[in-house]
Amino acid sequence: MIKGFFDFIREQGVVGLAVGFILGGAVSKVVAALVGDVVNPLVGLILGAAGGLKDNYWQLGSAKLMYGDFIATAIDFIIIALVVYYGVKIIGLDKLDKKKQP
């Protein structure tokens, strides 16, 4: 019964999914701090916003289009995705999943 359970986990890609969740959660705070404290101020300076990137917006009537917050969130996502991808590749966790036999 236990053997069947472990075969199910390896064959269905559950290990890869679990690794993705664990690594994503583990690095998200570090990456958020890096992006919020280092990357966003630098990009904000380049775009001419000394106060920081997240606070940049375009005013259209009474609406505020928060393009700075969108760019900051996109940078966050890209860095987290790269860290998780290369972390899994370097550690070799992508080879743990058992391939199904045709």
74-84 tens-digit pLDDT:
887 887 778 77
Q: Are 34 and 40 in contact (CB under 8 A)?
A: no
The predicted pLDDT at position 12 comes to 64
Is residue 102 one of the residues assigned to a domain? no
Is residue 42 one of the residues assigned to a domain? yes
CATH number for the domain that contains residue 33? 1.10.1200
User: What is the total count of domains within the chain?
Assistant: 1
Q: Are 82 and 75 in contact (CB under 8 A)?
A: no
Q: Which residues, listed in sequence order, are joined to residue 65 by a DSSP beta bridge?
A: 58
Domain that holds residue 13: 2-95
CA distance 21 to 32: 16
Q: Are 75 and 40 in contact (CB under 8 A)?
A: yes
46-75 tens-digit pLDDT:
766 655 677 778 888 998 888 888 887 888
Q: Report pTM.
A: 0.54
The predicted pLDDT at position 29 comes to 78
Is residue 17 one of the residues assigned to a domain? yes
Is residue 100 one of the residues assigned to a domain? no
Q: In this structure, what token pair is assigned to residue 24?
A: 């994503």
